[in-house]
Structure 1
Amino acid sequence: QNYRDKALITCMFQSGLSVNEICKLNYGDLEKDIEAGNLPLLIELVRQKNDAEFKTLFGADAVNYLKLYLDTRNSLESGSPLFTKWATEDRITVDAIERRLRDIAKGLDYIEVLEGEMNPARPHSLRAGFRSRLTGKVDPELIKFWMGDELGAKSRAYLNLPDEEHKDLYFNAEKYLSIETTSKEMLEGRPQVESTHLSDEYISRLSELEQRDTTLRNWVEKLSQELEGVRKENATLKEKVDSIDKFHDVTRDMTIEDVDKVTNFMKKIIENRHIKEQEELQVQEQEEQKLLTGLMKKGKLGDREKKN
């Protein structure tokens, strides 16, 4: 009974499972992982309260006491209840667990027995302890997911996270839930195989680097656009400089007299153009005047014909 009680307490405390979910567990839910010696031990469940799919894990303490307890059981099958009532093969009940925890609490000097008050060692306290131990150390949405609480958008994303990555995340957090030992300490004596999965620390670091990479790419793109603008401005300036250089090449060996000649020549061109424009304007005015005079004469002649 001692092994069963320790297994019950550590399993609830290290997983955040409710007492109802603990009662419904079958040996088959974790048979393969127990026989393979996997740590931490991952379980996939659906919480009856809200139909939420979730995953949670048992740490080294829970697995150790669970193995010791299961060794006392006879003829275990996949459909066998994981926890049974004392000296029977009947599935344990919520009431049985609550009574047992109450009896254990009465035997502890540091837990005061209060008449009519809520039992401080009730099963929900173990679930609450799981949350409080991890708060501030693990993503709050991940804590909710492991506990099977109502899932938000971020919590649902954890549903698709591979099992090995959940194990990595729990592996790093288990020290906050440990009573006697951790999966890390248990595995230190085993031949280590390099993990192909990233821990949450590396995932966070990778995300940070990806954000920096995006920022740098945007910065480089902006600089490229600014550089292209500068190149276009330089091309325009170069054309102007080339024009000035050509003019300079033409006028480099000119004397003052030559400059005066060129200036006078340009003035004459301008004057001639102006004179030509004036002459063309006068011709146009004369033609318009002739046309107007002709129209007026034709109009008077028409009036006379009407009178006759």
Structure 2
Amino acid sequence: MDYIVMDLEWNQNPYGKSNYHNDMPFEIIEIGAVRVSENREILDSYQQVIHPRVYKKLHYKIQEITHFTNEELSHGKDFKRAIVEFLDWCGDDYMFCTWGSMDLTELQKNMRHYKLERILDFPLFYVDLQKMFSLRYDDGHMKRTLTSAVEFLNIEEDKGFHRALSDAYYTARVMQTMDYEKYKDRLSIDTFYPPRIKEEEIFVRFDQYTKLVTREFLSKEDLFEEEEVRSLKCNKCDKPLDVLIDWFSDSGKTYYCLGKCNEHGYVRGKIRVKKLEEDSFYAIKIMKSTDEEGANGIYEKQENIREKRRERRQRSLEKEIVVDEIWEEEEDDD
């Protein structure tokens, strides 16, 4: 299997948000990719400029960053032809590797706009090298720019940044230079097209956590009625946990829990509820091994949320008191 280290450049509406296309806010104007073998040797490359059909004039910021010209884009290839050619170049046995998750999302939005839907593999596993770099060198949450990562690893900067092929090349060089073997199993799952039926749901077990991507539900209530969603099980042995903190939410979008396995210790849970365009919902659930410090973090998060709610209730009560006093004063004046 080869890695297709991919990068995209895109344009956006030069006239602001008032006239942009909801289904495609960013239009791809260049595809760049580097083929890397399993032992991380660079084998081949692909590059193609795309002739824009939606946002035909370059946004001034895009022009400033990429140094594209409108004339250069006018000689580009039609998107449909380019994507067919690119996927043919990728071959049959490959995995995408990107710096962050946005490239795959925008690629599929552009493909959907041109009626090229669900062509990529499902489920779509890929390497998010930005996430792996953060796990190795930062805190696992920080998102460095590609430029910053290249500087951090002292990789020779023999090409300019912010063009698709050169950025794909630098991403491949980061892959070659960092401790990739240690993190190569930490694959990401693209959820642009979530599972539609029970049989399509995605469950993956990693070394320290499990991840479940559910099918679509018509409401959050239906979603949480699903046993696999609301249950608390150990990510190592799948046995039911002793519930220390049941599911609670900060905003109705992210839910947290804490449990303990008699054999494997503390396990913290996280559910992200995602809303689809059709007003349906799906969830990404992670159950992850943690230590006492991580467990205390869940307790603190729950208490912080409770405190914020108490403060909101107090402010609301104070407003009601002020309103009542104003009404009483007006009644006295009458």
| TM-score normalised according to structure 2 size | 0.24
Which has more helix, going by share of residues? Answer: 1
**TM-score where L is the length of structure 1:** 0.26
